[in-house]
Amino acid sequence: MAYVQKYVILTLLLLSIFCINQTVKCDDDNDDDDHLDEEDILLAGINSYRATLNLTALIENERAECLADEIADQFKYQPCTNTTGSNTVPGTEPEIFNYPNLLQKCHLNVNTTRDGVILPACVPNLDSTLVLSNYTMSRYSNYLNDTKYTGVGIGSEDNWIVVVLTTNTPEGRFW
Ligand X SMILES: *[C@@H]1O[C@H](CO)[C@@H](O)[C@H](O)[C@H]1NC(C)=O
Q: Are 160 and 75 in contact (CB under 8 A)?
A: yes
**Identified binder of ligand X from the candidate list 106, 119, 122, 152, rule CB under 6 A:** 122
Beta bridge partners of 6: none
Closest to 166 (Cα-Cα) out of 175, 174, 158: 174
CB under 8 Å to 163, separation ≥6 — which residues?
42, 46, 68, 118, 119, 120, 121, 135, 140, 152, 153, 154
**Identified binder of ligand X from the candidate list 53, 100, 107, 169, rule CB under 6 A:** 53
**Identified binder of ligand X from the candidate list 114, 137, 148, 169, rule CB under 6 A:** 137
Question: Binding of ligand X at residue 82 (CB under 6 A)?
Answer: yes
**Identified binder of ligand X from the candidate list 117, 123, 163, 165, rule CB under 6 A:** 123
| Cβ closest to ligand X, residue 21 vs residue 89 | 89
Region binding ligand X by CB under 6 A among candidate stretches 25-33, 38-46, 75-83, 98-106: 75-83
